[in-house]
Amino acid sequence: MHGERVVITGMGAISPFGQGVHCMLDGVRNNRCALTPLPKYCLEGLACQVAGLVPPLQQKCIPRELRRCMSPMSVFACLAAWEALEQSGLGRTPDRKMGVAAGSTLGSPAMLHNFFEVFLAERSVESIRSTVFFKIMGHTVASNIALACACTGRTLAPAAACASGLVAICLGYEAIASGREQLMLCGGADEFHLLVATTFDRLGAASHECVPELASRPFDTERSGVVCGEGAGILLLESLTSAQERGATILGEVRGAAMVTSARNIANPDTAAIVDCMRTALDDADIRPGEVAYINAHATATEVGDIAEGQAIATLFGAHTPVSSIKGHMGHTMAASGALESILCIEMLRQSVYFPTRALHNPDTRCGGLRHLTATEHAKQGPILKNSFALGGCNCAVLFDTYKP
């Protein structure tokens, strides 16, 4: 997309590794597994035993008047947004017009559960607190970020399931490139709940592996399915003009992005649509496939998903471009995944290093014969392609690069 150049000047993360980008980066760099056994529960028919859960946080640093309208996913997003703004040098509540694009898979599933548990038992709403609605509304994450960070620009809350975080980055990029905004907080957040895991379980896509270190194995012949997780990733996107005027440190640049819909099947990934999405993003960035240095795959460790994406990558890039998925480290953090993984892409760019797919020992040849990374690779900098796909035919791809004046 031609117009204003769009750069990244701040990043914040809450992940199964803990609070802060540094925790996530350290965990992935050292190839650790952040998955843990689920606490004891009783839900007939659910076989999931492992999840990527965020460790306890010091959430009381958020003022009560803000926190009272937040479910866990909004707490995650608020803390991540503050980290991004502090890194950018703007502070938690900048005195500047700033927009928000942040999505979640649903409104808070925990709050929905609590609401109906009370309502169906009592057949009354008298004991329901008024703040519950603000926790379950579809734009709860975006609205709470806007409130906590004094955002007065546009508020966008993309509902694209597991692609929501990357779609938000794409929307923020488009808003700035078109000159309609100068600053956008972009990303996604989700919280773990058994109802989320149930969705994948009933689709036959969830991992039933009980050993955390083996539960999420993208691209591997021994993979057993998705491991659900939680967290939040927020990036501050800014016009190059704005960043230069205030002397901001530029972490990277968004070179191009694309969103493509598959109208073939509501559940199954579509290889042709994925190829179209990646090609459109490359065209948007004026980059040829051979120039891409690394691809960060969506790859959630499902057979149909890994194969469809792998074959799409092979179609466009052949077997030369390094490919890996981060979901072996911390599971699938749903709407947060595209943003958290984008943050890692920026860090990989800055350090000229590419992280492997954890626990990938026997690559599935049906995935296109890709050049899978099974160990950390130090290589020269170059454009990175980040993919995110979701139920409902949602496909998104974004190209990141180092900033070059």
How does pLDDT run across 196-222, given as a tens digit for each residue? Answer: 899 899 899 999 999 999 999 999 999
Q: Quote the CA–CA distance of 149 and 145 in Å, as a whole number.
A: 6
Return the number of other C-beta atoms located less than 10 Å from residue 188's C-beta: 40
What pLDDT sits at residue 193? 92
Segment 343-384, tens digit of pLDDT: 999 999 999 999 999 999 999 999 999 999 999 999 888 999
Segment 2-14, tens digit of pLDDT: 799 999 999 999 9
pLDDT (mean) for 301-329? 97
Average pLDDT, the chain: 95
- In a 13 Å sphere around the CA of 82, the CA atoms on its Cβ side amount to 17
Q: Scanning the structure block, which residue is given the tokens 């996107």?
A: 237
DSSP-assigned letter for residue 362: S
Residue 66 has pLDDT above 70, yes or no: yes
List helix spans (H) across 59-205: 64-67, 72-88, 109-122, 132-136, 140-148, 164-177, 194-202
Q: Which two tokens stand for residue 219?
A: 């691209």
Lowest mean pLDDT among 1-15, 44-58, 205-219, 290-304: 44-58
The β-bridge partners of 387 are 397
**208 Cβ contact partners less than 8 Å away, ≥ 6 residues apart:** 47, 48, 49, 224, 225
Predicted confidence band of residue 223 (pLDDT cuts 50, 70, 90)? very high
Q: Scanning the structure block, which residue is given the tokens 């990141």?
A: 400
What pLDDT sits at residue 42? 61
- pTM score, whole prediction: 0.97
Q: Give Cα separations from 312 to 44, 47, 277, 299 (angstroms).
A: 38, 31, 10, 12
**Cβ-contact 12, 79 below 8 angstroms:** yes
The SS3 assignment for 182 reads: coil
List helix spans (H) across 203-326: 212-215, 240-245, 271-285, 303-317
pLDDT (mean) for 129-158? 96
**44 Cβ contact partners less than 8 Å away, ≥ 6 residues apart:** none
CA-CA-CA-CA torsion sign (379, 385, 388, 392)? negative
Predicted confidence band of residue 340 (pLDDT cuts 50, 70, 90)? very high
Angle of helix 337-351 relative to helix 21-29, nearest 10 degrees, comes to: 70
pLDDT (mean) for 3-31? 98
Q: Quote the CA–CA distance of 151 and 239 in Å, as a whole number.
A: 16
Q: Give Cα separations from 322 to 7, 54, 295, 297 (angstroms).
A: 24, 29, 6, 10
pLDDT (mean) for 329-348? 98
To the nearest 10°, report the CA torsion of 126, 132, 133, 139: -170
Q: Quote the CA–CA distance of 267 and 261 in Å, as a whole number.
A: 12
Predicted confidence band of residue 127 (pLDDT cuts 50, 70, 90)? confident
Predicted confidence band of residue 321 (pLDDT cuts 50, 70, 90)? very high
Tell me the percentage of the chain whose pLDDT exceeds 70.
Answer: 99
Residue 1 has pLDDT above 80, yes or no: no
